[in-house]
Copies of this chain bind each other. A is one copy, B any other.
């Protein structure tokens, strides 16, 4: 059978998987100048750092009169509300009511558990008893904090669509030649056949390219010498529901002993509301070449092209309802698998 029947799950209205870690900010975005506002699975939060440098995330609404704490300022280890100066510490406890000495112990704001690792800050908004740092992505595998590798944060986009649409986008390389035809050196890659792989935690598609030689652009990107021939594996990996990874591996069969070059696009995906989400981009690499600014600019353009179509899809669902028909083909297999798995995760009893 060549086609997949009509969708059973609407990709514009997928719910949240609450018991998970979500990247909520790059480390460098959170400081002591002023709190940062972000939303994770519908929870607005204000992020800042204590004097000791610990990152803190509090529910972004003062329990006194309802002003967002992100409107406030940072005083010592607390955030001070912009309106009446109430202060809340890293645990969310109120530590100052300017107009009185007595502080009611029940006067507090929810505080979220954070883990900062490498240059990401991850938040847990789910059940406290299920919170486990072992559930974080494997930072070694991602090339973050790995000897001999380099890893850097680049940018974060806020996209006005359900987060599931981005996973499907990233699991489908067939759109590259069309949506990104001008931006990417994508001709051969888009035509390459692919295979789908999946395991308990991921949905993956893999494309292989044999006997390529670098053009000026990807030579620089991938730290390759002119004239060298190589094989390339592009592996697009959805770690549902919170991370997508694209792993490029260059091997050199004609040069025994030449170590493989690996570059990983690390893209945490964090649902903000039902129809908005964040997409982060960091790059890690096993080789010392700097990523030129032109590469980052090109990737930013590509992400913006994706953003435009994802937002257009979402708008039509928002205007015309979740029952719009959808027709799937073979290339959508991985995306549909990811969508169904997200739906199952979102509906699972927590």
Contacts and interface: CB of A to CB of B under 8 A. Distances in A.
Contacts of A178: 80-85, 98
Contacts of A317: 66
A331 to B, nearest CB: 4
A172 to B, nearest CB: 7
A190 B83 CA distance: 13
Interface stretch (A216-224, A239-247, A275-283, A319-327): A319-327
Given A2-B100, A100-B330, A327-B104, A66 B316 contact: yes
Given A83-B175, A104-B327, 12 more contacts: A2-B102, A63-B327, A64-B327, A71-B308, A84-B172, A84-B174, A98-B177, A98-B190, A99-B174, A104-B329, A106-B327, A107-B327
Contacts of A168: 65
Contacts of A61: 316, 324
Given A104-B2, A309-B82, A328 B177 contact: no
Contacts of A97: 329
Lowest 10 CB-CB distances: which A-B pairs, in order? Answer: A85-B178, A99-B331, A99-B174, A66-B313, A63-B327, A2-B102, A3-B104, A84-B175, A67-B309, A83-B309
A342 to B, nearest CB: 16
Interface residue range, chain A: 35 or more
Contacts of A31: none
B326 A63 contact: yes
Copies in the complex: 3
A325 B106 CA distance: 12
A68 B312 contact: yes
A228 interface: no
Contacts of A102: 2
A179 interface: yes
Contact of A179 (B83, B100, B312, B328): B83
Contacts of A84: 172, 174-175, 178-179, 331
Interface string A48-77: 000000000000010111111001000000
Nearest to A12: B66
A229 to B, nearest CB: 27
A183 to B, nearest CB: 13
Contacts of A332: 64-65
Contacts of A64: 326-329, 332
Nearest to A68: B312
Interface string A89-122: 0000000011110101011000000000000000
A35 to B, nearest CB: 13
A190 B98 CA distance: 9
A347 B72 CA distance: 36
Interface string A177-191: 111000000000010
Contacts of A80: 178
Contacts of A313: 65-67
Contact of A324 (B66, B83, B100, B177): B66
A104 to B, nearest CB: 5
